[in-house]
Structure 1
Amino acid sequence: MEYDYVIVGAGSAGCVLANRLSADSGVSVALVEAGGQDDKLEIRMPAGFSKLFKTDYDWNYSTAKQAELSGRELYWPRGRVIGGSSSLNAQMWVRGHRRDYDQWGIPGWTYDDVLPYFTRAEHRVGSNQGGVYGTSGPQVISELRSPNVTTAAFLQACQELGYQRLPELNGASNEGYSPTPVTQNRGRRWSAADAYLRPALKRPNLTVITGATVDRVVFDGTRAIGIEHGGGAQVRARREVILSAGAIGSPYLLMRSGVGAADELRDAGVEIVHELPEVGKNLQDHLSSGVFVECRQPVTLVKAESIVQLFRYLVLRSGMLTTNVGEAVAFIRTSQEEPAPDIELIYAPGPFIDHGLTPPTGHGLTVGVILLQPESRGRVGLNGRDVVIDPAYLSKEADVKRMVAGLKAAKQVFATKAMKQWAGPPMAPYSNPESDEELAQWVRDRAETLYHPVGTCRMGTDADSVVDPSLKVRGVEGLRVVDVSIMPTLNRGHTHAPAIMIGEKASDLIAKGGVA
């Protein structure tokens, strides 16, 4: 089994690469995925994503105990299926802010450099004021078909609080509030597999291998020549091996293959191919807290699982089951000293508690609070063959202060006239903390991931970076990393859109650069 390109991981970036590289009929491409097919109803049904958590479609990771989060181990879902996390996510298409890409300081990766790759990917259906979105790409982006009645009240509350209404969320600045653009096509999830992989499957030069958990990259000296899976089976690469396994999988595979910090590799019993100490470092994630209140009227997503709603979805592709849960957002600065938004407020017209795994006890409303630019840095490491995930949440005091300020802003939303008709008293487990100390403790006791890990194969121009600006792994040949692990810092948005952009840009880099 030998191909020109072997791509590891059929997630957002991997699906893009499989499509774009196989468009050249003169090359052969293999896409290797640990999971199986994305044919489950809950993948297609937008509101069903939490039903996929802790199933065979999920890597079901847990972090190390977090000292600043009351010693808790946090659950981290990641997609283990065709489409990767784009088959499990909340379908929010949020590029971020111009500053996010300019602050990287990397030639070829400024906002103006990457913008054409966002628009090349996008197929905007519906509003497109100012031509912000692309309209001819494969990734369908639409408005929600059946937004909840309380979502309009949230948007009115944002106006009441003096926030700016955004004509389109994904312009150069995202400071303000907006309904959420979603990766849906006629009320159905439109994953990276739908957008990119399925249209390419008919090509004879593209092979998709599922159910194949990759154990390591195979090297000849310091040149990557393929991958090994299933305890010994190999897939060889004539030109390049491309890791698109995400912010956990890509550094893990580099380390398991002998590329990483020498001491850590020796401790794990891995033979060193090339010492690259920064592999797995620089881990960042969006930490999420929130305010929960009871809803005064029985109109929330608690009713989504009724027979009526199932009929509406299956027959009309409308109703509550088309929701992405996070129906509207506001990106705000908690102080004038912030150069751009530091907190995101996500509105859910239902009680989204414990990743949706805890059944609601009644009708409730949620304003989530997301720390957009964490100063804390963690790591992905090895413990023998096992992966260690330590995001080191709140290890920087500035992160705590911003989260507290964000919770205060969320409380203000529910105190507005616009929300008076809907927002009732606090809903368990939320206890309505008031002081800064109480709010900080609420974060420590209950905060969770927003599913956006990045940074563990940091791109840079410096010798310490894991990949260079063409995404080649430093010190070895024939190996690149193409996924959000290459992002030096998090975006003030969500990570699915940048993952697609990175895949689009990488496909050009590979086509123009030939052999890595």
Structure 2
Amino acid sequence: MEYDYVIIGAGSAGCVLANRLSADPGVSVALIEAGGQDDKLEIRMPAGFKALFKTDYDWNYTTAKQSEMSGRELYWPRGRVIGGSSSMNAQMWVRGCGRDYDQWEVPGWAYADVLPYFRKAERRIGSNRDDVYGTDGPLYVSELRSPNVTTAAFLQACEELGFTRLAELNGPSNEGYSPTPVTQNRGRRWSSADAYLRPAGKRPNLTVITDATVDRVVFDGRRATGVEYGGGALVKARREVLLSAGAIGSPYLLMRSGVGAADELRDAGIPVVHDLPAVGRNLQDHLVSGVFVECKQPVTLTKAESIGNLLRYLVLRSGMLTTNVGEAVAFLRTSADEPAPDIELVFAPGPFVDHGLTPPTGHGLTVGVVLLQPESRGRVGLNGRDVLIDPGYLAEEADVRRLVAGLKTAKQVFATAAMKPYAGPPMAPYWAPESDEELAQWVRERGETLYHPVGTCRMGVDGDSVVDPELRVRGLDGLRVVDASIMPTLNRGHTHAPAVMIGEKAADLIRGGA
């Protein structure tokens, strides 16, 4: 099998590449995905994503023990299915703010450069702000069809506390509060596969190979010439191999292919193709803690999966099962010294504990507190030939300080008059810590990932970066990385939107249009 382009990973960026590159009938494209088809009801139904965790649709990663997180190993779900993590995320379309991209200081990737690619992707429904959003792209972005009554109370609480109401969340500044725009089409999840891959699926020059785990990239000298998967099958690439396997999969695959820190590769018994020490370094993730309270009224998402709600969803595409769980957000600065928001509050009209894997004992409410710009850095490496994920959470004390300040603000939200009809006493496992020391202990004992790893194939102009501004792997030919792993720093938002943007911009770079 031989194609012009071979793409590894049918996730947020990989589906974009498959569509845009195969739009040229003169080239042939292969897309290889480790997982299977995305036809499960829990993928289509927005509230069903937690049912996909720790199943065959999930890579089901576990981090190394985190010394600053009470020695815990943390669960990291990542999508192993057509659509990748866009088929099992919370559908929040949150670009971040303009400063996020300007601070990368990479030519061609400033906010003004990337904004047209966000807009190219978007088909914004239910908004008159076409000065902010694209309106004819393939990716539906809409309002929630059936937001919970407590979500309106959260938004009123933000107003009561003096926060800024955002007319649209995805403008140049996102400081303030807003309902969450979601990647849904008439109450149904709209993944990258829905937006990009399915419309291209019948093209004769696009081949999609599923249930195929890639073992390594194949090289002829310093040039990538194809990939090997399934224990020996070979797919050749006449022009380029494009890694879109995500912030864990892309660096891990580079290392398994002999590209990385030479000493680490040799220790793992992997022949060195190219010594590139930065591969796997610079790992960043959004760490989230939260405040949980009982709800005085039985109006939350607890028992949302009743037969009545399921029928309402299946027949009308409305009701509680259209929720994305994180129904509203607020982006805040914890001090006047912060140049932009450093904390995000995510409101969930239910007790979202342990990734939703722990069944709720009653009706409750959650305000999650997300550290947007962590100073701590981790890595993806090798443990023998297995992957090692060490996010290095809370290695920098400033990260603890910001999360503690955010938790104090979350507690203020529940103390407002707007929340008084709903917010009750603390709900287990939350034990109502008060002092800074107790709040820091709560973060260390119960903090979790918000599912946004980036940075492990960092883009830059310096020789220590993994990829250059055109996403070409330094020192090699015919090989690029196109996913969130190339982001030098995290955005003050969520990572599905920039991953799609990266796919859109990369397609133009590959075709010579940018």
Instruction: Give the TM-score of the pair, scaled to structure 1.
Output: 0.99
Residue 220 (structure 2) pairs with residue 197 (structure 1): no
Cα offset for 1:307? 1.2
1:259-301 CA distance string (max 9 Å, x none): 1001100001110111100000000000000000000000000
2:100 matched residue in structure 1: 100
Distance 1:430 1:270 in 2: 46
2:295 matched residue in structure 1: 295
Q: Which structure 2 residues correspond to residues 412-451 of structure 1 after superposition, within 5 A?
A: 412-451=412-451
DSSP-derived class of the 2:202 partner: coil
Change (3 A) 1:113 1:185: same
2:333 matched residue in structure 1: 333
Read off the aligned partner of 2:301 and give its amino acid letter: L
Distance 1:130 1:57 in 2: 36
Read off the aligned partner of 1:119 and give its amino acid letter: R
Q: Which runs of 5+ in 2 are unaligned?
A: none
1:109-131 CA distance string (max 9 Å, x none): 00000000000000000013362
Contact 1:128-1:168 at 8 Å conserved across structures: no
DSSP-derived class of the 1:177 partner: strand
Read off the aligned partner of 2:389 and give its amino acid letter: I
Distance 1:302 1:157 in 2: 22
1:25 matched residue in structure 2: 25
1:219-259 CA distance string (max 9 Å, x none): 00110000001111110000000000000000000000011
1:228 matched residue in structure 2: 228
Contact 1:330-1:345 at 8 Å conserved across structures: yes
Distance 1:97 1:364 in 2: 31
Read off the aligned partner of 1:329 and give its amino acid letter: V
DSSP-derived class of the 1:293 partner: strand
1:165-194 CA distance string (max 9 Å, x none): 000000000000000000000000000000
Cα offset for 1:344? 0.1
2:318 matched residue in structure 1: 318
Residue 358 (structure 2) pairs with residue 358 (structure 1): yes
DSSP-derived class of the 2:302 partner: helix
Instruction: Give the TM-score of the pair, scaled to structure 2.
Output: 0.99
Distance 1:108 1:455 in 2: 18
Q: Give the root-mean-square deviation of aligned CA atoms.
A: 0.8
Q: Which structure 2 residues correspond to residues 48-127 of structure 1 after superposition, within 5 A?
A: 48-127=48-127
Contact 1:122-1:135 at 8 Å conserved across structures: yes
2:470 matched residue in structure 1: 470
Distance 2:444 2:168 in 1: 34
Q: Which runs of 5+ in 1 are unaligned?
A: none
Change (3 A) 1:137 1:130: closer
DSSP-derived class of the 1:466 partner: coil
DSSP-derived class of the 1:4 partner: strand
DSSP-derived class of the 1:128 partner: coil
Q: Which structure 2 residues correspond to residues 159-308 of structure 1 after superposition, within 5 A?
A: 159-308=159-308
Cα offset for 1:384? 1.9
Distance 2:338 2:510 in 1: 37
Read off the aligned partner of 2:216 and give its amino acid letter: R
Read off the aligned partner of 1:460 and give its amino acid letter: G
Residue 458 (structure 2) pairs with residue 458 (structure 1): yes
Any runs of at least 4 consecutive aligned residues in structure 1 with deviations exceeding 4 A, and if so which? none
1:490 matched residue in structure 2: 490
Distance 2:153 2:419 in 1: 6
Distance 1:404 1:261 in 2: 36
DSSP-derived class of the 2:419 partner: helix
Read off the aligned partner of 1:175 and give its amino acid letter: E
Residue 514 (structure 2) pairs with residue 510 (structure 1): no
Distance 1:214 1:379 in 2: 21
Distance 1:265 1:476 in 2: 17
Question: What is the number of residues matched between the two proteins?
Answer: 514
